[in-house]
Amino acid sequence: MSNPYPHPVIAREGWPFIGIALAVALIINSTSGWFLALPFWIVFLIVLQFFRDPPRAIPTGARKVLSPADGRIVAIERARDPYLERDSLKISIFMNIFNAHSNRSPTDGEVKQIWYHPGRFLNAALDKASGENERNAMWLHTTEGDDITCVQIAGLAARRILCYTREGDTLQRGERYGFIRFGSRVDLYLPIGSKASVTLGDKVLASASVIAKLP
């Protein structure tokens, strides 16, 4: 399944950064030559790849939970969901600067509530980042009647969490709902009885990888 893709392949959130990096590289190149400009061209390419936002094939299946982010699985554990105050299966995905940072809905459902918490900017790969870093949590009530909490967490270099949904919005699986700039993490809290389809260290792609199955 492929959802309509109304977003540019290079995310709009990155256009100002890409423009600045390109302008600096061009100025240095024209005034000092390509050799001195080479580090600035490398920076431009890194910024360009960071803000890529490619279309993805989206797996079907109402009980399948899709990855909300590109990255590496750093936690699969039973944990307390601090937002819905329940026991849950927690799956965490760490995004480094070489991953795409567009966030996608893990399943179909209605946005019931949004919580934003200011906080620190610790390394997002650390477990304590879940409770101490700046974060934005979204409660998604699925069309099958399950509740999922999806938490965007700022990282060491991240300084801006963007979430475009509001309470009452309806999301389709794989639909783009947010973006985090420069290194971050996403935590998913799933109902007890959910089964992880990934293992620690696995690399996943937003909306293309199935990471769990609901009970």
The β-bridge partners of 149 are 139, 189
User: Does 111 lie in the same domain as 45?
Assistant: no
Q: Give the count of alpha carbons within 13 A of 33, CB side only.
A: 2
Higher pLDDT, 111 or 46: 111
- 8 Å CB contact between 211 and 198: yes
pTM of the full structure = 0.82
Q: What is the CA radius of gyration of the chain?
A: 18
Q: Residue 206: inside a domain, yes or no?
A: yes
Q: What is the CATH number of the domain that holds 89?
A: 2.70.70.10
194 among known catalytic residues: no
User: Does 90 lie in the same domain as 16?
Assistant: no
pLDDT in tens, 49-108: 888 888 888 998 889 999 999 999 999 999 999 999 999 999 999 988 888 888 999 999
User: Does 100 lie in the same domain as 37?
Assistant: no
Q: Residue 138: inside a domain, yes or no?
A: yes
Whether residue 158 is predicted with pLDDT greater than 80 in this model: the reply is no
User: Does 35 lie in the same domain as 97?
Assistant: no
Q: Residue 1: inside a domain, yes or no?
A: no
Q: Residue 58: inside a domain, yes or no?
A: no
Domain count, the chain: 2
Q: Residue 57: inside a domain, yes or no?
A: no
Choosing from 88, 92, 184, 209, which is the catalytic residue? 184
Of 39-43, 54-58, 113-117, minimum mean pLDDT range: 54-58
Q: Residue 3: inside a domain, yes or no?
A: no
Q: Which domain holds residue 209?
A: 64-213
User: Does 94 lie in the same domain as 17?
Assistant: no
